[in-house]
């Protein structure tokens, strides 16, 4: 299985002036730049991944909107998946928060600094970073069983890509290196079934050729 993890385009929560204490929902759409990034990705990726067997996306707005142009260019329906929502946006049972109950504020401490503590300030049943790792890991292992020998795209979030690396590389609870994936950056893993060898192969991380050409690289 070839697994392509794609971070969503720029969203309003990515803007430097976003008010994290303003009480607005964290499920924000793409900015105009984010939409342009998604379109640029859809124009570039088929030249490098000609065939896609399955396209998954986080059920959050910014991932859904990023996946739409990919769905059109590949003529492949999007399968929306709650388990690849951003860190803190699910409950401890891995299910998505109903919109009216969704927490709006992260705790002041960085999630990976307290991996077993709730990530949200205003939710008693908020997931921890380790809860997020479990749901992402379960999803990845299901993909392995379901899509052997296939090409799979997953449009998700930077925190989800962090969790995927932790799962694949078997990293312990306390991470020692922060990864920073650009908006619409593409990461390519391959699941290789060689007895006695590693089963995962990393081909590249955070590829942004489509953004560099258009001068649209952002954090």
209, 210, 208: which is closest to 219 by C-alpha?
208
User: Is position 158 within any domain?
Assistant: yes
Residue 10 has pLDDT above 80, yes or no: yes
Joined together, the tokens standing for residue 124 give 């008693």
Task: Report residue 90's pLDDT band, with 50, 70 and 90 as the boundaries.
Answer: very high
Residue 217 lies in a domain: no
Domain presence at residue 97: yes
Decide if 183 is inside a domain: no
Q: What is the CATH number of the domain that holds 36?
A: 3.40.50.1240
Range of the domain at 120: 6-16+23-177+190-212
The rounded distance, in Å, linking the Cα atoms of 219 and 216 is 10
36 in a domain, yes or no? yes
Question: What is the tally of structural domains in the chain?
Answer: 1
Question: Is residue 196 situated within a structural domain?
Answer: yes
Is the full-model pTM beyond 0.75? Answer: yes
What confidence tier does 95 reach under pLDDT thresholds 50, 70, 90?
very high
- Above 90 in pLDDT, residue 104? no
CB 15: neighbour CB atoms within 10 A? Answer: 13
pLDDT at 139: 98
Provide the pLDDT confidence category of residue 219 given band limits of 50, 70 and 90.
Answer: low
E strand map for 104-193 = 151-156, 186-191
| pLDDT tens-place string over residues 114-140 | 999 999 988 888 999 999 999 999 999
What are the pLDDT digits (tens) for 51-88? Answer: 999 999 999 999 999 999 999 999 999 999 999 999 99
pLDDT, tens digit (0-9, with 9 covering 90-100), for 21-56: 777 889 999 999 999 999 999 999 999 999 999 999
Element (DSSP H or E) covering residue 110: none
Cα–Cα distance measured from residue 187 to residue 211, given in angstroms and rounded to the nearest whole number: 14
Cα-to-chain-centroid distance, residue 79: 14
Residues 195-214 have a mean pLDDT of 92
Q: Is residue 94 part of a domain?
A: yes
């Amino acid at each position: 299985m070839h697994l392509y993890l794609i971070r969503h385009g720029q969203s309003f929560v990515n803007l430097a002036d976003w008010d994290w204490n303003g009480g607005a929902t964290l499920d924000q759409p793409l900015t105009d730049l984010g939409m342009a990034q998604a379109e640029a990705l859809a124009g570039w990726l088929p030249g490098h991944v000609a065939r896609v067997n399955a396209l998954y996306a986080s059920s959050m707005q910014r991932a859904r909107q990023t996946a739409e142009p990919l769905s059109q260019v590949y003529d492949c329906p999007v399968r929306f998946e709650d388990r690849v929502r951003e860190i803190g946006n699910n409950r401890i049972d891995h299910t998505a928060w109903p919109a009216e109950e969704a927490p709006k504020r992260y705790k002041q401490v960085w999630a990976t600094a307290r991996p077993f503590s709730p990530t949200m300030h205003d939710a008693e049943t908020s997931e921890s970073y380790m809860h997020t790792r479990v749901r992402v890991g379960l999803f990845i292992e299901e993909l392995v069983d379901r899509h052997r020998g296939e090409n799979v795209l997953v449009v998700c979030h930077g925190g989800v890509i962090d969790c995927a690396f932790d799962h694949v590389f078997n990293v312990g609870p306390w991470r020692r290196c922060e990864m920073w994936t650009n908006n619409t950056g593409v990461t390519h893993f391959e699941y290789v079934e060689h007895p006695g060898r590693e089963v995962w192969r990393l081909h590249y991380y955070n590829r942004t050729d489509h953004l560099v050409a258009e001068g649209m690289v952002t954090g």
